[in-house]
Amino acid sequence: MADTETEILEDGDIFFFFRPKVEEDDPEGRDDVQRFGFVLRPRGGGTVRMMMVGGKRLPRLSAHERLWGFVETVANRAADIEKDLRGEDYDTKTRGRRHLPAARPAGEGVYVVSLEDGQMHLSYELELPDAPGEVQAELNIAPKASFALSIKNPEKGAPRNAGLSDDEQADYPRKLQEEFRGRRFASEDVRLLDAEGGEFVLVGARDDPERAYGIDMQTEDEDYGSSEAIRRLRMVKSRHPVEPLFEGDWD
């Protein structure tokens, strides 16, 4: 039963993914992961966002852990993001030809961004895999969870050697920049995530968002044929190993 006043700001599909380290085609754990993040695709259209999370996992809920992240890519369609998740080969001056493996889907479900007493929360519930496995355990992708979500004001600077550089941070239009009202963080307007370089903080909050906030996550049964990651993100198995998504295994 919800114990706060809840306003739904946005809902849609969420896709978790990880990319193995360079030359690591057979990852066996989080130590072999180079990057971790998720994609938010709003229901009914809108800006699709690819968001990276520091620590290469989600924050721990029980400890109310805080992890920093940033919006890497915004697009009109989820399919426009897939090209950034493909593998590639490239040349280096000192180490010759190198291979960057393709990103791998690690979870799929639905999400809700809600507002409770002036604080946004990002909540999700998985549809795939049916039974979370080793991958989900190491990346801390619980079957369902909620995180307090706050967006950093790029005009307030950052601690030395922390966060994105000045030229990488979001350049908000004046009207959106005013949403910060001079504060270091804003926690009420989800549109602040609609800019590449937007920095955010996730704080572990609840393990049962439906009960805590009185929201309906509206999950559905999924398989390879109906998977939104396959259909919307086009993360087909010919380009992206899909065992983490369907079996919870690293490869």
Q: What is the pLDDT of residues 189-244, one digit of tens each?
A: 999 999 999 999 999 999 999 999 999 998 999 999 999 999 999 999 999 999 99
Listed in sequence order, the residues at least 6 apart from 94 whose beta carbon sits closer than 8 Å to its beta carbon are none
How far apart (Å, rounded) are the C-alpha atoms in residues 99 and 246? Answer: 25
Contact predicate 40/11, CB 8 Å: no
Q: Per-domain residue ranges for the chain?
A: 6-246
Look at residue 161 in the predicted model and tell me its pLDDT.
Answer: 65
- Confidence category of residue 3, pLDDT binned at 50, 70, 90: low
* Pairing of β 185-186 and β 144-152: antiparallel
Distance CA 88, CA 19 (A): 12
Task: Quick: pLDDT tens for 27-83.
Answer: 999 999 999 999 999 998 889 999 999 999 999 998 999 999 999 999 999 999 999
> Which two structure tokens, joined as six digits, stand for 56?
């290469």
Q: How far apart are the first and last CA of the chain?
A: 39
pLDDT of residue 162 exceeding 80: no
Taking only Cα atoms into account, the Rg of the chain, rounded to an integer number of angstroms, comes to 18
Tell me the pTM.
0.94
Residue 1 pLDDT > 50, yes or no? no
95 and 102 in contact (C-beta within 8 Å)? no
